[in-house]
Amino acid sequence: MNPSPPVATRPLEANSFIFPFFVRMIQSLREMLYPVTCLTCGCFYTRKTDPGSAASGAPPTEFFLSESYEKAFQILLASHLCPDCASGFPPVRTPLCRSCGIMFRGGKGGDYVCRECIRSSRRLHKARAVGVYEDRLVEVIHRFKYDGKIQLARPLEILMFMAFIRHWAGDPVHLILPVPLHGERLRKRGFNQSYLLIKGWRMLTTKSHLPDFDYQVEKEILQRSVKTKSQTGLNREQRRINLKGAFTVKDPAKIFGKRVLIVDDVNTTGTTLDECAQALLGAGADRVDALTLAKAL
């Protein structure tokens, strides 16, 4: 048994020092030539995304189960937002309403059903959101939805998937549908932001080795057949009138007896989701839940 001569390790040691040095030098050069602009505040910043991190591809299972939404947002959005903008995510925290998912700001203790949900029976069985519709999250959603920054879709989709795993593990749904846009608006915008938030969930479910939920993502079943005016500035009752009969179910046989989850970017007053739920329940769905990226308080 001849032990390896000590001298043989020297070139390796030198390589292990020189190689990272060159990688770092090339990175610095690239950052100088191609500075990254923050999508929300517009500043230049140094991107520090590890190519093997959660932001690129399917994150490891532990990421979905144990990471906080704030930290996950910071990691996932690091390629698109400066460190300052990436650190301002406002998560929905418990205690929240068990039915409509509204967060009781400053509240303590466990979840309970809010007064509004007790007073008026909701069509949605359970609604949940990842964040509160304020601060950075409003800006990010606006860049994504109105400025067409669809590079934000992937990190936001992963964040939504985290919430799906947390709120629907052990409470399975059969079908996941995006809130549809009217054909004319879809052509104008070029994409349905709600569909982009769930498009890759099947792949994420498979790749992350989580218990394989038996669900399908379907983008055509629920349709918006009436072109309604913008909901901005309308109160809950005006929104309800504006949206009356706007949604139809294309193929009722596909949803009959099924538990359905509808997905949207923002839940403002709950009217849109409620109207979708009415159309789905009217067509025979067993139960309708909702998940949104943001919930207005």
Question: Rule CB under 5 A: which residues touch Zn ion?
Answer: 38, 41, 82, 85, 97, 99-100, 114, 117
58 versus 124: smaller Cβ distance to Zn ion: 124
CB of 297 to Zn ion, least distance (A): 12
100 versus 152: smaller Cβ distance to Zn ion: 100
DSSP state of 113: -
CB of 117 to Zn ion, least distance (A): 3
CB of 258 to Zn ion, least distance (A): 24
Q: Which residues pair with 249 in a beta bridge?
A: 222
Q: How is residue 40 written in tokens? A: 């929300």
72 versus 85: smaller Cβ distance to Zn ion: 85
CB of 116 to Zn ion, least distance (A): 5
What is the C-alpha to C-alpha distance for residues 55 and 49, in angstroms, rounded to an integer? Answer: 8
Q: Which residues of 13-43 are buried (b: 16+ CB within 10 A; e: fewer)?
A: eeeeeeeeeeeeeeeeeeeeeeebebbbeee
CB of 139 to Zn ion, least distance (A): 9
99 versus 194: smaller Cβ distance to Zn ion: 99
Sheet holding 126-132, edge to edge: 126-132, 287-295, 259-267, 175-178, 216-217
85 versus 159: smaller Cβ distance to Zn ion: 85
Pairing of strands 247-249, 222-224: antiparallel
What is the C-alpha to C-alpha distance for residues 103 and 135, in angstroms, rounded to an integer? Answer: 16
